[in-house]
Amino acid sequence: MEPFRFERLAQSGRARVGRLHTPHGSVETPLFMPVGTQGSVKGLLPKDLKAIGSQVLLANTYHLLLRPGPERVRALGGLHGFAGWQGPWLTDSGGFQVMSLGHLRRIDEEGVVFQSHLDGRPLQLTPERSIAVQEALGADIIMAFDECPPYPSSRDYLKASLERTLRWLERSLKAKTRPDQALFGIAQGGTDPELRALSTRETVRFDLPGYAIGGLAVGEPKEAMFPMVALSTELLPEEKPRYLMGVGHPEDLVAAMGLGVDLFDCVYPTRTGRFGSALVPEGRLNLKNARHLEDPRPLEEGCDCYTCQTFSRAYLAHLVRSGEMLGGILLSLHNLRYLHRLTEAAREAIRQGDYGAFARDFAERRFGREVPAWFREALAAGGHW
304 is catalytic: no
Q: Compute CA distances 42 → 36, 45, 46, 326, 329, whole Å.
A: 7, 9, 11, 12, 8
Q: Which helix (H) or strand (E) holds 25?
A: strand 25-29
265 is catalytic: yes
The span from the CA of 21 to the CA of 19, in Å, is: 6
The amino acid at residue 92 is D
Q: Residue 375: CA atoms inside 13 Å, Cβ hemisphere, count?
A: 20
Q: Residue 189: CA atoms inside 13 Å, Cβ hemisphere, count?
A: 25
Q: Which of 146, 156, 265, 295 is catalytic?
A: 265
Q: Residue 101: CA atoms inside 13 Å, Cβ hemisphere, count?
A: 21
The span from the CA of 12 to the CA of 317, in Å, is: 40
Length of the chain: 385
Q: Residue 258: CA atoms inside 13 Å, Cβ hemisphere, count?
A: 29
Q: Residue 310: CA atoms inside 13 Å, Cβ hemisphere, count?
A: 9
Q: Which of 48, 92, 140, 192 is catalytic?
A: 92
Which strands, in side-by-side order, build the sheet including 242-244?
A: 31-34, 263-266, 242-244, 210-213, 182-187, 141-143, 89-91, 57-59
Q: Do 248 and 268 contact (CB within 8 A), yes or no?
A: yes
Which residues does the annotation mark as catalytic? Answer: 92, 265
